[in-house]
Structure 1
């Protein structure tokens, strides 16, 4: 199986690229030169692919002719303020549709990622039947990019893990708080996956359900951000972060992943197991630094 990962430098893109490279022929695009990123190697890297010049990625697809294109590009919530509304609409909302048109011409499967942030977080346990109701441009633009038609599998999810560039996500922020006291939000409810678990689930789908198309939630068992960070801190070899329970803040963007689980038969592992794996990766990275 030949795979093209668009946005190899992001957390999801890097995680998927590294996971699948162990078994398949995987190519990945970068927005800038490879030397600008702290990546392990530059094998199968395609540099200087700016999606504002969509013809560049179309040329890459035409040249490679992959079996699967995995779109991990787009503006992330943590950097949303750095972009205009038009940038959001184009990169998050329009690019997935442009990619699908190109892939459909060549019978290439497109994997597209959406987010739990398409919802306002007031209700929780959102299903595929719930209408996105985000009140910010990030969530609204990601909802625009959700595709429910043949040729594309849109996975609505959230993920945590290590990053190689910007380090804006929950885990990198947490690790940067060494020696400090932080608030752990007990009423911030989460249903994402670690990037390794997401990659395992995606591989299961590509191998066993190659013709699965449409919009599906990919979710884990619900957990509070406080509990998540507490479990992780217990599993790390060395952690000096004090986590204080905070019950004032409320947000529940949890997704109901029942439909995708029933379609595929995949069972997402427990948070204990997912965070054990993540803690090992964190400890390994810390050892390499020293």
Structure 2
């Protein structure tokens, strides 16, 4: 999106808005759960903790870091997501499945610890019900997997027949350490095959607009 390169709009949405929303929530006496991103880190080393200094050098990463809310009554969940879109096919999963019968690259040295959106949604519901006083910044992540293996797993689960060529020319590791969150909440990391199967089941059962692959 061209708006993503506009510093004024990006700062207003990513940095300022979460803090304004937190203030409104505090005034109304309600809780805020804000979702942040692993992109606050550059990906130069991986297994980042909440105590590590955010070292992103791009506009998106820097502004998302500034938008992380740690005020009383606010919870910021730092994570990353994959999943199906409603109105486009630009993100990883739908872009990949749009190449049915074709060939794509799979990055063997790009390490990922995000979650399918349906899995994160269920975990957020659990936080709301079981941990109503949890606040501050916590990282919620999964077992590290490289993008090549992740695409292979999606390919097998969805039966897409896509050829994935391993590619090691891109190196990036934004993996997040969520041991602090596990200790606080008893969070269980789902194995990747289980998470991708959950994502696929949700996709089959949900009427996503323009659905063309099952």
Q: TM-score range by the shorter chain?
A: over 0.9
> What TM-score does the superposition give when structure 2 sets the normalisation length?
0.93
Equivalents in 2 of 1:146, 1:119: separation in Å? Answer: 13
State which of 87, 110, 115 in structure 2 corresponds to 1:165: 87
2:117 to 169, 187, 195: 195
Residues 1-290 of structure 1 aligned to structure 2 (within 5 Å): 79=1, 82-236=4-158, 238-283=159-204
Q: For residue 282 of structure 1, report the CA deviation from its aligned partner.
A: 4.2
Deviation at 1:81, TM superposition (A): 5.8
Bigger relative contact order, structure 1 or 2 (CA pairs below 8 A, ≥6 apart): 2
Does the 8 Å contact 1:183/1:243 carry over to 2? Answer: yes
CA distance in 2, matches of 1:147, 1:82: 21
In the TM superposition, residue 273 of structure 1 has moved relative to its aligned partner by 0.3
Q: Aligned-pair distance for 1:160?
A: 0.7
Unaligned runs of 5+ in 1: 1-78
Would the aligned equivalents of 1:179 and 1:240 in 2 still touch at CA under 8 Å? Answer: yes
Where does structure 1 differ by over 6 angstroms across 4 or more consecutive aligned residues?
A: none
RMSD value, Cα: 1.9
Q: What is the alpha-carbon distance in structure 2 between the residues aligned to residue 252 and residue 81 of structure 1?
A: 26
Instruction: Name the SS for the 1:113 alignment partner.
Output: strand
- Structure-1-length-normalised TM-score: 0.69
Partner deviation per Cα, 1:102-124 (whole Å, 9 max, x = no partner): 11011100011110000000010
Aligned residues: 211
How far apart are 1:178 and its partner, in Å? 1.4
Deviation at 1:180, TM superposition (A): 1.3
**CA drift at 1:280:** 2.8
Q: Is the 8 A contact 2:3 2:10 kept in 1?
A: no
Cα 1:80/1:119, change in 2 over 3 Å? farther
The answer to whether the Cα contact below 8 Å between 1:80 and 1:138 also exists between their aligned partners in 2 is no
